[in-house]
Structure 1
Amino acid sequence: MKILFVSFEDSFERNIISYLSKFSEVQVSHFKDVMQFVGIPFNAVVFGPGPGHVEEYLVAVDFIEVLYKKKVPLIGICLGHQLILHTLFNGAVVKSDTPAHGKRVKLIDQYGSLVQRYNSWTVKLNESDDSSLVYDENGELAIYVSSRVLTMQFHPESVGTNCPNQYFQKIHSFIVHNDNDEIESKWTLQS
């Protein structure tokens, strides 16, 4: 298995790459250099966390559009979540009502999972497709899952997330199921 990790120069990305490396070869590319990877086959592309607003990363937006047309599974974490949902599903990236930098929030899922947020922005989706959505206790979109897209508006690798290994097992499962053209209908975790 081979994953491309798109770097936005975030201090947490090494931890994410470390988790991904447990089940896949990971190649890292700076966001400004991603278009050189258009013709190279990857099992998935992970768009990592980073500072700023999606409008500052237009080359990544172009890359997301190309990958989606090629049916490459896309995974987004924090900024990556915002970029993918903004690009593919016209998600509005707006100031969060509850900015959180290093704050734990509870997910509204069957387990009440605790995750660590580091963001001032949130995504508001105008329409829903065949996706599964999980919100946090503040009513902000925390997880988006559809047939070829998995995004999280939190840091699954963070010490403040109560079950990081399970999130990365789910990421691995998402990629494997995409290779087999099947996806779980529900995306939940045990706490």
Structure 2
Amino acid sequence: MTAGAAPRILVVDHHDSFVFTLVSYLREFGAEVDVVEGDELGRAALLARAEEADGVLVSPGPGRPEDVPASTALVQRAEATGQPLLGVCLGHQVLAHALGASVTEAPELLHGRTSAVLHDGDPLFDGLPSGFAAMRYHSLAVDGESLPEELRVTARTPEGVVMAVRHRSAPLVGVQFHPESVLTEGGRRLFGNWLREVRSGGASVSADDTPGLSIPAR
């Protein structure tokens, strides 16, 4: 993208009530946001829409990653082209699923509850303390043991449930919790951190620049 220009963000809406808040945060940081419903466009049309964007955000929503194949294709395109992409909740699961990881039943059903998130200092969490409180709405979770080599865990709960992942060589990141919730500590800042990556094309961020996460897997 051109230096100083507003980043153009494509938001794929999977019919989640939090999407409006998510979009408002992006706009507060100066982004131009194009919102499309995940099932509104076919695969080819959605991929073409992504070509016009500087970054893609795959939203939360009900269901499983298998229910949104067009979004899966969007993740695979982003990996191939190096387009920055952020997946939130279902979008996080879609990211992992698209690259070969398993998404299974979470150890416990969490809808409208906060928990601590321990992170490894990844740039997405710049300015957020490890152990910050985050709002969770999910019954599925990414199986950390099934992650392909391309993905690494950057955050977990104290019990070891995967809360965030990053691609090792492409600017793809996902978070299981809801940063757009008012009950997530520093959630607005997380969106600012991601837009900083978008503005740089992700080129200045390397997952290997941060240490590994020493939290037991579950």
TM-score, normalization by structure 2: 0.78
* Long gaps (5+) in structure 1: none
C-alpha RMSD of the superposition: 1.9
State the identity as a percent. Answer: 25
Letter in structure 2 aligned against 1:97: P
Which among 43, 47, 65 is matched to residue 54 of structure 2?
43
- SS of structure 2 residue aligned to 1:46: strand
Cα distance in 2 for residues equivalent to 1:104 and 1:130: 25
Deviation at 1:150, TM superposition (A): 1.1
Cα distance in 1 for residues equivalent to 2:153 and 2:74: 24
Contact residue 87 and residue 175 of structure 2 kept, 8 A: yes
Deviation at 1:4, TM superposition (A): 0.1
Contact residue 49 and residue 77 of structure 1 kept, 8 A: yes
1:13-28 equivalences in 2 (<5 Å): 13-23=19-29, 24-28=31-35
Q: Which has the higher contact order (CA 8 A, sep 6+)?
A: 2
- SS of structure 2 residue aligned to 1:38: helix
Change (3 A) 1:36 1:129: closer
Contact residue 132 and residue 186 of structure 1 kept, 8 A: no
Cα distance in 1 for residues equivalent to 2:141 and 2:112: 15
Letter in structure 1 aligned against 2:188: N
Cα distance in 2 for residues equivalent to 1:121 and 1:134: 16
Contact residue 104 and residue 116 of structure 1 kept, 8 A: yes
* Long gaps (5+) in structure 2: 1-6, 120-128, 212-218
Contact residue 151 and residue 165 of structure 2 kept, 8 A: no
Change (3 A) 1:137 1:128: farther
Deviation at 1:62, TM superposition (A): 2.1
Cα distance in 2 for residues equivalent to 1:130 and 1:12: 26
Letter in structure 2 aligned against 1:134: A
Match of 1:30 in 2: 37
Match of 2:139 in 1: 120
Contact residue 38 and residue 67 of structure 1 kept, 8 A: no
Q: Relative to structure 2, which stretch is displaced further, 3-12 or 54-63? A: 54-63
Q: Which aligned segments of 4 or more residues in structure 1 are displaced greater than 4 angstroms?
A: none
Match of 1:99 in 2: 109
Match of 2:197 in 1: 174
Q: Relative to structure 2, which stretch is displaced further, 144-153 or 114-123? A: 144-153
Contact residue 35 and residue 63 of structure 1 kept, 8 A: no
- SS of structure 2 residue aligned to 1:108: strand
Change (3 A) 1:141 1:130: closer
Cα distance in 1 for residues equivalent to 2:151 and 2:88: 20
1:2-151 equivalences in 2 (<5 Å): 2-23=8-29, 24-32=31-39, 33=41, 35-39=44-48, 40-88=51-99, 90-109=100-119, 111-125=130-144, 126=146, 127-129=148-150, 131=152, 133-146=154-167, 147-151=170-174
